[in-house]
Structure 1
Amino acid sequence: MADADDYDSLTPEQREARDKADKARETAEQATLPYRWTQELGEVDIVVPVPKGTRGRDLVVVIQKKKLSVGLKGQDKILDGELCKEIKMEDSTWTIEDNESILIHLEKINQQQWWENVLTHHPKIDTRKIEPANSKLSDLDGETRGMVEKMMFDNQQKQMGKPTSDELKKQEAFAKFQQAHPEMDFSKAKFS
């Protein structure tokens, strides 16, 4: 994967092409895994397909603080390895759905961190490209939501080399002050 400095020097079109290529590679890598997974900041959900007709008693599922193992009794494990981050074992569960898939729910210990992968030896995703579900933004109270939206706006403005919302407010206030005091010379005024 290219480093961030290289990415910063690309044009928006090149970035978009790189992002598309990275996303395609990432999607292809994830498709090779014997499971599908999704995450929120506080949790990870994994779906492991198993042969139709599989029952809970046919399975061996081990969920530990830093380890996950899933398999059918008497067969090679479907997945087995070290989790990329620690989980709360007491809040993590598994169940079988329609006798053809295992649903595993893991509660993260660190609820402020995206996971790059489920098991450390599996392909990683680029966590910088994760966009939290918009519905979650609307779940926030007004003040928190406003703060998050302001941060997102400021971040976009910075990336485009444009002024942040605070800088825009300063410029606006200065322009109003200038209009109110046409007799003053502002040619040497600086924004700090």
Structure 2
Amino acid sequence: MSSENDYDKLTKEEREARDKVDREREEAEQAALPYKWRQELGEVDITVPVPKGTRARDLAVIIQKKKLSVGFKGQEKIMEGELCREIKLEDSTWTLEDQQSLLIHLEKLNKQQWWDNILTHHPKIDTRKIQPENSKLSDLDGETRGMVEKMMFDNQQKQMGKPTSDELKKMEALKKFQAAHPELDFSNAKIS
């Protein structure tokens, strides 16, 4: 696997090509799972297809703070393992829809973090490429939206080992100050 620095050195076309390959691999890995899932910053929704006519009492669903187990009573599990992050147990639920889909709603404990996967042993997604639904952002007032966008930017920057918006502002201010005062030595200056 190549490092982020290699990615930064690629041309726009090379990045798009690599992103396309990564996206196709990720989609194939996710499609092979026995469930579909989607997430927002505060919650995860999982859909598990089950045979038509399934009744709730046929299912064995165990939701714990850091574990999930789904299957039919007395049979092998459809999915089972450790959740990638902790959930709020009291706000997490499951329901059976149209006797053919098991819907599991998990409320994240940390509402500021994207999940890489549902179960730790399942393939991960690249959370840096998540595009939140704009309709949700546009519902926010200007100040809150700006704060959320800044948090999302800073989170992406941190994951890539790059400076946050505040660090970038400090660096810019230092550059302007250096330009205005060329007689001063900034070689040992530290930004914190």
Q: What range describes the TM-score normalised by the shorter chain of this pair?
A: 0.7 to 0.9
TM-score where L is the length of structure 1: 0.78
Deviations 1:70-97 (A, max 9, x none): 0011211000000000001100000000
CA distance 1:92–1:6, change in 2 (3 Å)? same
Q: Structure 2 matches for 1:48-63, cutoff 5 A?
A: 48-63=48-63
Q: Structure 2 matches for 1:1-192, cutoff 5 A?
A: 1-148=1-148
CA distance 1:149–1:87, change in 2 (3 Å)? closer
CA distance 1:74–1:151, change in 2 (3 Å)? closer
Identical aligned pairs, as a percentage?
75
CA distance 1:71–1:140, change in 2 (3 Å)? same
Give the superposition deviation at 1:150.
7.0
Unmatched runs of 5 consecutive residues or more in structure 2 = 157-161, 163-168, 174-178, 183-192
Aligned counterparts of 1:71 and 1:81: Cα–Cα separation in 2: 12
User: Which has more radius of gyration?
Assistant: 1
> Please, what is the CA RMSD of the aligned residues?
2.9
Aligned counterparts of 1:145 and 1:64: Cα–Cα separation in 2: 33
- SS of equivalent residue, structure 2 residue 75: coil
Aligned counterparts of 1:14 and 1:133: Cα–Cα separation in 2: 27
4+ residue runs over 3 A deviation = 146-155, 188-191
Aligned counterparts of 1:190 and 1:14: Cα–Cα separation in 2: 41
CA distance 1:143–1:82, change in 2 (3 Å)? same
How many aligned positions are there? 168
Unmatched runs of 5 consecutive residues or more in structure 1 = 160-165, 171-187
